[in-house]
Amino acid sequence: MRIGKQDQPFSAICTSDADSITVRGKDLVGELIGKTDFTTYFWFLVTGHMPTAEQRFFADAVLLSIAEHGLVPSVVAARMTYAAAPEAFQGAVAAGLLGCGSVVLGSAEVTGRFIAGLVAEVQEKGISEAEAAVAGVQALRAERKAIPGFGHPQHSGGDPRANLLLSLARERGAAGAHITMLMAVQKAIPEVIGRDLPINVNGAIPTVMLDVGFPLEALKGISLLARTASLIGHLQEEATRPIGFVLSGKAAEAITYDGPTGA
């Protein structure tokens, strides 16, 4: 039984023969290795074209901003998995990545789609950014959904990573429709919910990347690539200074059983 489209059996990413490996139309050995950096290569792999200097600058900046954030759930999952299965380094990395959903790490993608949708409404309906922002926040509140890209449990006065990324975008002339809409949403929030919320790093990352031309569909890949680097660092430390079972033990200590008792 055929499932899904099967009429375009093609890929434009990579091919090889006995003498060469071709990636996106460039010779891997002759044109890429030793002649480009990994951030540039990542952009090239995803989009099919080399980034401009500004695109590479901001890709570097956002990758640095999101890679490491301490013992967040994805890191804890990876370190505990590695403690239990030290022969499966790849399994521990995978365990960390599998926990990167809409609450942890994946919220940049959610924010990107939300902001991009509002930008599209402005273009399609001819309304102002302010009108689109208010309507968007109202719709989220009506569905009792969080406003993606806003609020932080620790940086309640403003996420320093987000502040820097947005400042860099403005200083370098890279701020466009998506950052403009992000700021419109920030202004709309008090009007709709009655209090301010700071922009967090998952609000800054997608709007900056969209404004410099990164594809919306690949936004989550930014966070996944960055966090993979962090997970490898944590697992290297876990191999030499293990805390996986400490984390496991503290979890057991922190939870009280409240189920039925035996006879």
Q: What is the Cα–Cα distance from 206 to 185, expressed in whole angstroms? A: 14
The CA-atom distances, in angstroms, between 84 and each of 79, 205, 226, 239, 253 are 9, 34, 24, 12, 19
- The first and second tokens of residue 100, run together, are 């990167």
Residue 38 binned pLDDT confidence (cut-offs 50, 70, 90): very high
pLDDT tens, 140-188?
999 999 999 997 666 667 789 999 999 999 999 999 999 999 999 999 9
The whole-chain average pLDDT of the chain stands at 94
Q: What is the Cα–Cα distance from 182 to 129, expressed in whole angstroms? A: 9
- Yes or no: say if 136 and 227 are a contact pair by the CB < 8 Å rule: no
Using the structure block, give the residue that is written with the tokens 């594809």: 215
If you average pLDDT over residues 21-30, what whole number do you get?
97
CA of residue 247 relative to chain centroid, distance: 25
CA of residue 112 relative to chain centroid, distance: 10
Single-letter residue type at 202: N
Helix (H, G, I), strand (E, B) or coil at 22: strand
Cβ neighbors of 108 (< 8 A, separation 6 or more) are 66, 149, 201, 202, 205, 206, 219, 220, 222, 223
> In degrees, to the nearest 5, what angle opens at C-alpha 218 toward C-alphas 106 and 198?
45
Cβ neighbors of 62 (< 8 A, separation 6 or more) are 165, 204, 205, 208, 209, 222, 226
pLDDT at 6: 85
If you average pLDDT over residues 232-237, what whole number do you get?
97
- Yes or no: say if 28 and 37 are a contact pair by the CB < 8 Å rule: no
Taking 90 as the threshold, does the pLDDT of residue 42 lie above it? yes
If you average pLDDT over residues 233-248, what whole number do you get?
96
- Yes or no: say if 184 and 192 are a contact pair by the CB < 8 Å rule: no
103 CB neighbour count, 10 Å cutoff: 11
- The first and second tokens of residue 177, run together, are 């429709």
pLDDT at 69: 86
Nearest 10 degrees: Cα torsion 165, 185, 215, 209: -10
Ramachandran bin of 176, using left for φ above 0, alpha for ψ from -120 to 50, beta for the remaining angles: beta
